[in-house]
């Protein structure tokens, strides 16, 4: 028997009905995983937690887990692994327990995995001046001292370890904070098959299986190049993997659902947001994609094999965020001859008026949507009869951004004839959270697991 692990939530904001639907569509599914944490999601949760200390996790996660109560109540053995604990896995677990009790579920065990939140530890290390070289920005090489006063979150990407321990303790639901997306699927494999920490090729299979379904419906035809040919797109099935003891797997979706799982959709997702495919780094293994092969073996069934793993790095990757000023964006539609020239002129007016008010904005971007704004300068802009003027600004001073917000809407009466589409009203400033990827030695992070009985 293979181990069947699905994904029913590819990001915070995904289809709220997907978990219960997937579990009912696929009656032999062993695990459901749900991914809520993109790179800067935790900084949004930090802002939430400032207003309400008992929060700091996506409420959606509690609702998703609650939606599975009818299955547990009727004796179905389905386990959940999710990073929906966010910044506060304990708080999320308590909310889930309360919701499940209310819905008549008893005897369930919730595993809580924490230890990823290293903000205080990092602050101390910075004060002491130790490991600061590892804390350089992985992308830009800048030193952390530049932003250390403005840090909002710092979380290590934990691996499978804590989740496996929670499953060994009989957890039906595992809630984590920041873990690698790949550990959500790999951990159940390690638990089920007993893979050793040095069985790198098998681990690589579990990690790649996770990567292929971590964005949910994207592997079922979502955002694929040939999207117009994807069948029944309003009813796309969330994916699951059937993982074998040796780490090879099939990716598929429930029968009768829309979308499609083909060599093409799987290959697109396999390389999605992968940097160096020879060195996909996780706490379990360094994975090479070089020998991976992909073959369609049935309708909506694609088999993958050829995973190569080697020893993992001695560090954890850290995702930190810091306050980086404010931003706002607004759009207006312009219809008529010379629409592009009119849009540019509107942009200059707004910039000039904000400047006269005393603010030289640090970031000011004017785009004419419809003219190739997704690739400025790459393709020749053609004259348009209609465009959407989009202006986005950023500044360290909130009042400067606020001023821009006030200067955009007056174009409704001062701008060109044919300017319309202002129903969204005046834009509002939002905080910007900068992303700071860096490293920390593994021995500075300790993973904690506790069990909460429902």
Partner 1 sequence: MRLGEIAYARSGDKGSAATLAIFARRPEDFGRLERVVTAERVQRFFEPMGCGPVRRFSLPKLQALNFILPEVLAGGGSRSLRVDAQGKAIGQVALEMEVGDL
State in angstroms the smallest separation of the CB of 147 from partner 1.
Answer: 12
Considering beta carbons, is residue 335 or 364 the nearer one to partner 1?
364
Tell me the CA distances in angstroms from 301 to 121, 223, 264, 329, one per residue in order.
Answer: 46, 19, 12, 43
Considering beta carbons, is residue 74 or 225 the nearer one to partner 1?
225
State in angstroms the smallest separation of the CB of 230 from partner 1.
Answer: 13
For helices 200-213 and 183-193, what crossing angle results, to 10°?
140
First CA to last CA distance, the chain: 30
State in angstroms the smallest separation of the CB of 99 from partner 1.
Answer: 32
- 128's CB contacts (< 8 A; 6+ apart) are none
Q: Which residues bind partner 1 (CB under 8 A)?
A: 38-40, 139-140, 223-226, 264, 267-278, 289-294, 306, 321, 324, 327, 329, 363-365, 367, 369, 373-379, 390, 392-394, 432-435, 437
Question: Strand ranges (DSSP E) for 244-346?
Answer: 249-252, 280-281, 286-288, 293-298, 301-305, 308-310, 315-335
Phi, psi values for residue 189, rounded to 5°: -65, -45
State in angstroms the smallest separation of the CB of 434 from partner 1.
Answer: 6
How far is residue 233's CA from residue 265's CA, in Å, rounded to a whole number? 14
Considering beta carbons, is residue 187 or 343 the nearer one to partner 1?
343
Considering beta carbons, is residue 107 or 275 the nearer one to partner 1?
275
Write the burial class of residue 323 (CB in 10 Å: 0-12 exposed, 13-18 middle, 19+ buried). middle
How far is residue 307's CA from residue 384's CA, in Å, rounded to a whole number? 49
Structure tokens at 194: 């007993």
Considering beta carbons, is residue 128 or 276 the nearer one to partner 1?
276
State in angstroms the smallest separation of the CB of 134 from partner 1.
Answer: 17
State in angstroms the smallest separation of the CB of 411 from partner 1.
Answer: 19
Considering beta carbons, is residue 24 or 296 the nearer one to partner 1?
296
Structure tokens at 103: 């819905």
State in angstroms the smallest separation of the CB of 94 from partner 1.
Answer: 30
Structure tokens at 446: 């300790």
Find the DSSP H helices in 67-147: 69-73, 89-102, 119-128
Considering beta carbons, is residue 274 or 412 the nearer one to partner 1?
274
Tell me the CA distances in angstroms from 34 to 319, 365, 378, one per residue in order.
Answer: 19, 35, 37
């Amino acid at each position: 028997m293979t181990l069947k692990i699905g994904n029913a939530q590819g990001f915070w904001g995904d289809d709220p009905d997907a978990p219960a639907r997937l579990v009912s569509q696929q009656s032999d599914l062993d695990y459901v995983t749900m991914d809520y944490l993109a790179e800067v999601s935790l900084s949004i949760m930090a802002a939430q937690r400032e207003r309400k200390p008992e929060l700091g996790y996506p409420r959606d996660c509690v609702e998703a887990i609650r939606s599975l109560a009818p299955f547990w109540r009727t004796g179905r053995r389905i386990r959940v692994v999710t990073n929906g604990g966010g910044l506060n896995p304990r708080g999320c677990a308590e909310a889930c327990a309360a919701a499940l009790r209310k819905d008549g579920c008893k005897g369930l065990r919730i595993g809580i995995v924490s230890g990823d939140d290293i903000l205080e530890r990092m602050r101390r290390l910075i004060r002491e001046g130790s490991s600061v070289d590892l804390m350089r920005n992985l992308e830009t090489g800048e030193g952390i001292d530049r932003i250390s006063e403005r840090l909002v979150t710092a979380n290590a990407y934990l691996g499978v370890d804590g989740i496996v321990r929670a499953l060994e303790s009989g957890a039906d639901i595992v809630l984590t904070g920041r873990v690698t997306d790949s550990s959500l699927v790999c951990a159940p494999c390690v638990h089920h098959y007993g893979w050793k920490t040095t069985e790198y090729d098998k681990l690589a299979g579990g990690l790649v299986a996770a990567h292929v379904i971590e964005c949910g419906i994207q592997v079922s035809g979502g955002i694929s190049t040939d999207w117009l040919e994807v069948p029944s797109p309003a009813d796309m099935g969330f994916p699951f993997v059937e993982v074998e003891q040796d780490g090879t797997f099939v990716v598929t979706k429930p029968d009768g659902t829309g979308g499609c799982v083909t060599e093409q959709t799987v290959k697109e997702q396999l390389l999605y947001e992968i940097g160096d495919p020879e060195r996909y780094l996780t706490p379990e293994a360094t994975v090479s994609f070089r020998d991976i092969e992909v073959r369609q073996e049935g309708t909506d069934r694609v088999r993958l094999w050829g995973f190569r793993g080697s020893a993992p790095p001695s560090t954890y990757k850290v995702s930190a965020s810091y306050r980086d000023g404010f931003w706002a964006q607004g759009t207006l539609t312009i219809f008529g001859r010379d629409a592009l020239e009119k849009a540019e002129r509107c942009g200059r007016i707004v910039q000039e008026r904000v400047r006269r008010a005393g603010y030289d904005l640090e970031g000011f971007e004017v785009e004419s949507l419809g003219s190739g704004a997704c690739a400025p300068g790459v393709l020749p802009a053609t004259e348009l009869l209609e465009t959407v003027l989009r202006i986005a600004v950023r500044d360290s001073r909130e009042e400067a951004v606020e001023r821009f917000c006030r200067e955009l809407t007056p174009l409704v009466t001062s701008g060109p004839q044919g300017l319309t589409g202002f129903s969204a009203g005046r834009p509002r400033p939002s905080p910007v959270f900068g992303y700071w990827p860096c490293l920390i030695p593994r021995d500075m992070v300790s993973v904690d697991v506790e069990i909460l009985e429902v």
